[in-house]
Every structure is written in structure tokens, then in C-alpha cells.
Amino acid sequence: MKKIKAIIQGSIDVKQQVLQDEALIAEIEKVVAVITDAFKDGKRVYFCGNGGSAADAQHLAAEFSGRFYTDRKALPAEALHCNTSYLTAVANDYSFDVIYSRLIDGIGDAGDVLIGLSTSGNSGNIVKAFETAKEKRLLR
């Protein structure tokens, strides 16, 4: 019981720290504005990640295309790792490091948004996806 309470308290503590971090709140507000403007301009939002971050990416994309708090029109958002045939083919034929960059090169348009989730911030395939996104003038 004590361990469970400690885990829950840890989650509460992190949320309290986020609430107190004005710079982080301002950054979140900027990201929200970028995503909102992209949707208003008819653009798409792409998410990518590995492992648990891929699960988070898929959940976020589902919230945009599904329902989040209110009924609304579905928004064009997609998690890039959901096509396993594509992932395994590209990883096999090229490298796991290019699975997201090749997809962004193929489907990303200027003004779209790419959101990469990475615990370390150094995942090679996420970094390469952002390099490609920059070349294609995607927002990030």
C-alpha cells in the first residue's frame, strides 16, 4: 500500500512542478497555437516515437481524430508507426533510423506539424525525421 501511495504522490508532485514552471506552461501554449493554426490552415499533425513513446504518440493522434473533451469534427492527425508492413519493410531494406524520415518525405507537406516523442531526446529515427521535416518546411 505504501509503495502505491508513493507512486501516486510522485505523479501529483510532477504535475505540481509543471504548474509552477511558467516557462514550460508558455512553451506548451506555443505548441498548442502551432497545432491549432496548422489545423485551421488545413494541415496535418504527425506523431512519432519508439516503444512507450510510440504508444503515447498513437494516443495523442487518436485524441485529435477522435473526441477529446467535446464532440467536434475529426482533425487530421496520425501516428507514423501504425503501419507495421511499412515499418518492417523500410527497416529491413534501409535502416530503422529512417523509418520516420522516409515517411515524412513521402507524405509531409509544408505547414504540417511533426511531433516526435523521445525519452532521451536522442532517438536516431526521431532526429532524422526532424531533419527531413525541416527540409520540407514542416513546422515542429
Mean pLDDT (whole number) for 6-18: 96
Mean pLDDT (whole number) for 121-139: 90
Return the axis-axis angle of helices 99-107 and 124-135, rounded to nearest 10°.
20
Mean pLDDT (whole number) for 26-50: 96
Whole-structure pTM value: 0.89
Question: What is the rounded CA–CA span in Å between residue 54 and residue 87?
Answer: 13
pLDDT at 69: 83
List the domains of the chain with CATH numbers.
Answer: 1-40 (no CATH), 42-140 (3.40.50.10490)
Centroid of chain to Cα 45:
8
pLDDT at 136: 81
pLDDT at 140: 57
Confidence check: pLDDT of 66 > 70: yes
Mean pLDDT (the chain, rounded) = 94
